[in-house]
Structure 1
Amino acid sequence: MEVRNRVRLVLGLIAVLVVGILLPADRSGDEPAEVRIAASKPVVALRIMPLGASSTEGIGSPSTAGYRGPLYRMLQRDAINVDYVGSLRSGPSWLADKDNEGHSGWTLATLAPKIDGWVRAARPDVVILHAGTNDLGQGVPGDVTARRLDDVLGKVLAAAPRAHVVVAGVWAPLPKARAARDELAALTPVIVGKYRMQGYSVDFLDTSTLLAPGQLYDGLHPNTSGYVKIASMFDGEIRQWLDTRAVA
């Protein structure tokens, strides 16, 4: 009886090996090498809300969920326990936390009515806001887009007054809307400065020259290399904010 059981075990192992050889592994959800970073033991926990349009969703690099995957790994390396928050879920299988608020194709004007509900439900510690590209792409002037941004930012801060809000500038080149893009980039620090004067924690990151031509997927959205660079920028901003908060 014992011999039969051993034979069955051996035959079972052989069958598993044969199936493993004949059926190739599905690697479509594998983590790209560019974002493989060893995690440190978490010492800080943060609820982070990625808020915006298609680049927040990750168009151009679905294997990394745009910047969200690389940023997740970078913050883990920095001993930060990341909890992404938002009403949507998207991303590759390797990304453990797929929550976000990235609405592809949406403008600041279409985001605005939803902001209060989304932010209050998510209760974020950090909000990464990247929006306005679609407004400019639709021909909206820079000053009008800036007023829309002011409206959205005000709603975010009203819903989460203790959160740190990172306002990222438009990184798409938008050659047909270059003047409007430049005007928005010039007005955004003024808007952010107004809220800082009111005591809110908010920073503007000018990304107008951040990406090289080779870091764009389609001339509009970043590719994996571009998103890794963006994630590194957000990682540095969040760490700097944490350091400032610790000193205070």
Structure 2
Amino acid sequence: MIVVLGMVLVGVSAGAVPVQRSAAAVPAPPPASRPAVLRVMPLGASSTVGAGSPETAGYRGPLQALLARDGVVVDMVGSQHGGPASVPDLDYEGYGGMTLEDLLPRVAGLVRRADPDVVLLHTGTNDLLKGASAAESARRLDAVIARIVQVTDADVIVAGVWAPLSGDTRDRTEFERLAAGVVAGFRERGHPVRYADTSGLLEPDELADGLHPNAAGYRVIAAMWERQILDVRNHP
């Protein structure tokens, strides 16, 4: 992101000075800059589209309202466009039913074209629902994030499964554990990737159909994304 590049350029410039100067003669480096407009890429499956609350475009409408309140100017980016006229920016990258396996061959091109500052990645639910094990779903997540960081230095915020999957919850719990470890591995290697544990985020009455959030649930999710985005901006 711009903040990181700015810091690298300052360091390189200082290291390239061939002679010593007195402290008084060396100008102070300019403060690290932030993008005037934050390009945010919602990336995921049906919850990114807004299933369960089309009137708010899922979390996308409430998130834009929260960030506007915070004074953050946002440009939502992605090749898809949809939602109600009440939502200011309707761009996103979401596909109903999409798995990590489906996303893998496409994600590098999608992210490169969108050129985001922040990627909001929510996926993995469909992998588990379609029979992939927790371990396999985590391996797919690792591969998807690897493709993303190859083409962008954007901050990537990965949200875990936020809907209580029906039946045995052991795979979901194990996926959350493994996904957090996948993200930690990227952070250890210096990539700006973070994990948001959403396993206890929603209450039963915040779901529209047992899988997708309703408007109240999406407001909770929007507030989660808001906290993550603000933390990224305050602690680059």
Q: TM-score range by the shorter chain?
A: 0.7 to 0.9
Q: Point out the structure with max Rg over C-alpha.
A: 1
Matches within 5 A, 1:3-152: 44-152=36-144
Name segments (4+ residues, structure 1) moved above 2 Å. none
- Residues of 2 paired with 1:64 and 1:73: CA distance? 11
Matches within 5 A, 1:208-223: 208-223=199-214
State the aligned residue count. 202
Confirm or deny: 8 A CA contact 1:48 1:127 kept in the other structure.
yes
Percent of residue pairs identical:
49
Confirm or deny: 8 A CA contact 2:48 2:58 kept in the other structure.
yes
CA drift of 1:158 comes to 1.1
TM-score by length of 2: 0.84
Task: Name the counterpart of 2:158.
Answer: 167
SS in 1 for 2:167: helix
RMSD: 1.0
CA displacement, residues 179-219 of structure 1 (integer Å, 9 cap, x when unaligned) = 11111101011101111011111110111110000000000
Confirm or deny: 8 A CA contact 2:61 2:88 kept in the other structure.
no
CA drift of 1:175 comes to 2.4
Gaps of 5+ in 1: 1-42
- Residues of 2 paired with 1:189 and 1:131: CA distance? 13
Task: Name the counterpart of 1:196.
Answer: 187
- Residues of 1 paired with 2:113 and 2:206: CA distance? 34
Give the residue type in structure 2 aligned to 1:149. Answer: L
Greater helix fraction, Structure 1 or Structure 2: 1
SS in 1 for 2:119: strand
- Residues of 1 paired with 2:59 and 2:160: CA distance? 14
